[in-house]
Structure 1
């Protein structure tokens, strides 16, 4: 699989860069002939050639040419990493698009160099997280070049569509911080329902939104808390670095200061200030640090946000693992269970280093490395703490551990069968109410 993945990356890079080079060649051959006003200009002519060669539409050919030319002419260092087979195309696609508004060649060159040094580590990240990281670098280098950074604020809106079958779709755009508040409030409401409630979570979220708008008592869930991380200089007005809202990305310095004026501000301790604590549950200071350092689940390829993750001891507390920043990490509930119950000689194993980096070993012996997500935005969060040498005193009893595993209400096969029966029942009811020939 790894060999196939590498070959795929090489092949995609070869194809896109070749399309870009062909475009450059054809444009140079056209010389000074001005066809810019033509319906089929020089670019479209090349797109037709590329499309014919690859058996794809001109639109798709044009897109591939664009990626190739952008990499060759604007992001040559990223292109080298891509050509070496070190980066997935989906990462490249985000990089090309989200750097497209940079016009200063020196700024672009600097961003290109920084991206080239980092993109190979982003293959396991979601498209959203990749976009956040690119936007972060662009925001630092050229805030005006961040996609939709200025117009989006004026474009916030809520719209409702036409009614169909008694339902109406609606859509809109909110400030990232406002969206986080709405999302958190809905989650709080849907988790407080009675077990006898047969509605799906999606249905309960929709009904909870109506309850919020109607001002019903059930919607009064108290204050909603969201966590935003920013430099102290930004909060005090002595700097303009963006803040970071987990799950939504960069937040402008102006917005950070506006929120700080009416929110609780808690300074984060630096790694060197945190030491082992004599209890299982970490203190508030250590909890805040771990959630800000990691940002999301630390299992390879997972980006569940910190607010739905557990703080887990890498070496279990019962095995002598201390409550210490070098022995704590965020894991979503699913991966926490995998790490806890699918462990041992033939299970997942992990080793955490003093900068928060974790090296995972799979049951097949393959290794994967994850780095703290928050440290990608605030490098000081990855400053090394003391190195831990922990002797493992004993091992868990496998049978007892298995008995502790949370169970499903019904098996996956039974769940699937129930869904099939439910959908078939709906179809049969419709047929009975309006039998053929309809």
Structure 2
């Protein structure tokens, strides 16, 4: 790979005046930088693979059955350095190891920038089942010899070209469509999602997909033709209703004789959503909902994007003085004006407003879902349990390990997510971790933060000399020092939306003088264990997938009929 000593001197190539280039020069520049990008990615994977190999060597063998094993630990270390998830970093490290150990000739092309990272991913995936050392060496040589002759191919044609080489060398290593059973999944969220909405992607079997499709369509079309929602909106609400255990979709028409409008669409208490919002935002949402209902009653025949006559659920009376409606509320879109078929009961955590309130309300925040505009908060308030979150100020530490409900709510609303770099696990699914372990570190807002279970275990069992170290500031800022001495600073998730929650909560000790706690020598006994180590799971998976090809290999190996 060459010498990395002078790779990162803090400088990058100057950006030239692109307007001075003709079209051909721009295409040449794009191709040149693409090759540079490929080469840089190859070098990144190589250094990740080297660190992975060091961290998971023979000395790590006794921890292979740990739930947070050495592979996961090095994945977290590399993830923090890149600000990506642990699982993405671990996949990259695995790819680097495959290139170094199984596909060195393909790796050489990658290092030269001649092939792209997506192509390398495809090669890694489609050669996984080749287990014989001589066979993988032959596959590597054939790929390196032929891949540059393929030219531009579609994804499917690229897979077919790789499979042709694998089938020539080791027909039992072909990846079959039946493997998709293991890849079924449902995922939520995309960077392109609009505020207040989350996309969903699912990979189902064809039969299961048809079942879901028919049920959603049946429910979406079960209302009368006067329902003001589009078919797409009804499909969306039908899927949510089904997930909540509701069997019918209530019609939102105003016809008194509509049977579908009289259906009970109240969900059972099977799910809880946590929403963080300033008190002013909750007041504005209630006022906006009340104003919408009033306008709908007064002008039932005007279609301005809101439903004509639908009344939003009336909000419960707040425990504080009657709110003053915010000046100039934003008019609701049709989608936002219609109350959803499913509004789960949810605690809406409301931090106390600042002394000098802003002239415009801030959006709410759904733990695990992201920003929620005020108009989408309104329909959720009817069945919401509202609890005010109070900043603890200079309150003394609590005299026990488990924080009180008030303190726990404050910390979760301040942090919003797991505080580990690159992790976005919602705070309501996280542990509350003492930065300085209890009882030396007291139960106090300045010593508590949210960690998901994985990162909580990582901090607990990979700490001390040669491990991770932490420092928490009174405003919730967390400074992590990695085993290599690199530092990563994370701010509480509320710093942008709810900055009042990030006011200092009191100083427990002078900065830089935090007490240290030496981990116990036998702490590994408390680590949850894996049923099977990673190597065993991978071997079983490869063996199972290879057996799918037994019939094909037997047919291929039959002697010719002469």
TM-score (norm. length: structure 2): 0.44
1:76-109 C-alpha deviation (Å, 9 max, x unpaired)? xxxxxxxxxxxxxxxxxxxxxxxxxxxxxxxxxx
Q: How does 1:11-410 map to 2 (within 5 A)?
A: 11=13, 14-15=14-15, 18=16, 21-23=17-19, 47-55=23-31, 124=83, 166=207, 168=209, 222-237=269-284, 238=326, 239-272=360-393, 274-318=395-439, 320-389=440-509, 392=515, 395-399=518-522, 401-410=523-532
8 Å contact from structure 1 (residues 247, 305) kept in 2? yes
Deviation, structure 1 residue 214? 7.4
1:202-249 C-alpha deviation (Å, 9 max, x unpaired)? xxxxxx96x95879xxxx984311111111101011353211123332
Q: Distance in 1 between matches of 2:420 and 2:203?
A: 40
Q: Distance in 1 between matches of 2:555 and 2:269?
A: 46
1:432 to 1:350, Cα distance in 2 relative to 1, 3 A? same
Q: Distance in 2 between matches of 1:357 and 1:411?
A: 36
1:264 to 1:434, Cα distance in 2 relative to 1, 3 A? farther
1:174 to 1:230, Cα distance in 2 relative to 1, 3 A? farther
8 Å contact from structure 2 (residues 415, 494) kept in 1? yes
Deviation, structure 1 residue 253? 0.7
Larger radius of gyration: 2
Q: Distance in 1 between matches of 2:556 and 2:246?
A: 38
Local SS of the residue matching 1:407: coil
Question: Larger % of helix: which?
Answer: 1
Local SS of the residue matching 1:265: strand
8 Å contact from structure 2 (residues 362, 497) kept in 1? no
1:394 to 1:315, Cα distance in 2 relative to 1, 3 A? closer
8 Å contact from structure 1 (residues 360, 369) kept in 2? yes
Deviation, structure 1 residue 54? 3.5
Matched, 1:416 2:375: no
Structure 1's unaligned 5+ residue stretches are 27-45, 61-120, 127-145, 186-207
8 Å contact from structure 1 (residues 271, 381) kept in 2? no
Local SS of the residue matching 1:304: coil
Structure 2's unaligned 5+ residue stretches are 35-79, 86-190, 217-230, 249-266, 285-325, 327-359
8 Å contact from structure 2 (residues 414, 502) kept in 1? yes
Figure out how many residues of one structure are paired with residues of the other and give that number.
292
Q: Distance in 2 between matches of 1:330 and 1:411?
A: 28
Q: Distance in 2 between matches of 1:362 and 1:161?
A: 37
Counterpart residue number, 2:550: 428
1:265-316 C-alpha deviation (Å, 9 max, x unpaired)? 1111114165421111111111111111111111222222213311100011
1:241 to 1:424, Cα distance in 2 relative to 1, 3 A? same
Q: Distance in 2 between matches of 1:373 and 1:427?
A: 49
8 Å contact from structure 1 (residues 310, 333) kept in 2? yes
CA RMSD of aligned residues (A): 4.6
Name which structure has the greater RCO, CA cutoff 8 Å, separation 6+: 2
8 Å contact from structure 2 (residues 463, 519) kept in 1? no
Local SS of the residue matching 2:423: coil
